[in-house]
Amino acid sequence: MTINTEDLINSIMASFDRIDFIRTEDIPNLDLYMDQVTGFIDSHLKNTARYHGEERILTKTMINNYAKNDLLPPPEKKKYNKEHIIILIFIYYFKNILSINDIQNMLHPITEKYFGKDGDITVSEIYDKVISLEKDQLEGLKRDVLEKYKTAQSCFEEAGEDQEFLQTFCFICLLTYDVYVKKLLIEKMIDGYMESNGQQDKKKEK
């Protein structure tokens, strides 16, 4: 198995530079029907798909399931507003890491306290703040990935023809372990939040 590791890391670094976020000003202020919502999400997040053009970012079935599981507030007269789309974007990123139950536990306070409200803090403002913080993390993430890559490259130097594969395997393991540890942290934080709000027992009963 031959892997060009230099091309691999260059591709990874280039993918960081291509990461983009849907800005609130890009989201239509007009209410949209479901087909329009799926089209909007797909057109803006298609570059994040693993297989470009072969999978839908968002489908009608997904949206219906999110509403059924109380992740997404119901539409008004079959139309979805700007805040609906923001919640769907949050769900899209969360679902790659968290269970539906954990996503529900995190988004429920947001939708309950801020969705459709004209208070000091809006759903759009929460989204804008989170996105701005995430953008600031990109350079740090690049450095972290490069450090893990260099660490992996220093391993298995005597493995002969298997060296390249084993180094790539080591690199993947380092990245996976990083995700695993952070996932554990996220789950503990969610459980801690639920317990502090007296909802832990109720969640377990489900």
Cα 93 to Cα 134: distance, rounded to the nearest angstrom: 12
DSSP characters for 89-150? HHHHHHTTTS-HHHHHHHHHHHHHHTTT--SSS-HHHHHHHHHHHHHHHHHHHHHHHHHHHH
Burial 22-51 (b: 16+ CB within 10 A, else e): bebeebeeebbebeebbebbeebbeeeeee
DSSP characters for 4-39? -HHHHHHHHHHHHHH-----GGGS-SS-B-HHHHHH
> Can you say how many angstroms the Cα of residue 84 is from the centroid of all Cα atoms in its chain?
16
Q: Residue-wise pLDDT tens for the chain (206 aa)?
A: 455 667 777 777 777 777 778 999 999 999 999 999 999 999 888 877 776 665 678 899 999 999 988 899 999 999 999 999 999 999 999 998 999 999 999 999 999 999 998 888 999 999 999 999 888 888 888 899 999 999 999 999 888 889 988 998 999 999 999 999 999 999 999 999 999 887 654 444 44
**Token pair belonging to 43:** 């057109």
Q: What is the pTM of this model?
A: 0.84
> Where does residue 160 fall: left (phi above 0), alpha (psi -120 to 50 degrees), or beta otherwise?
left
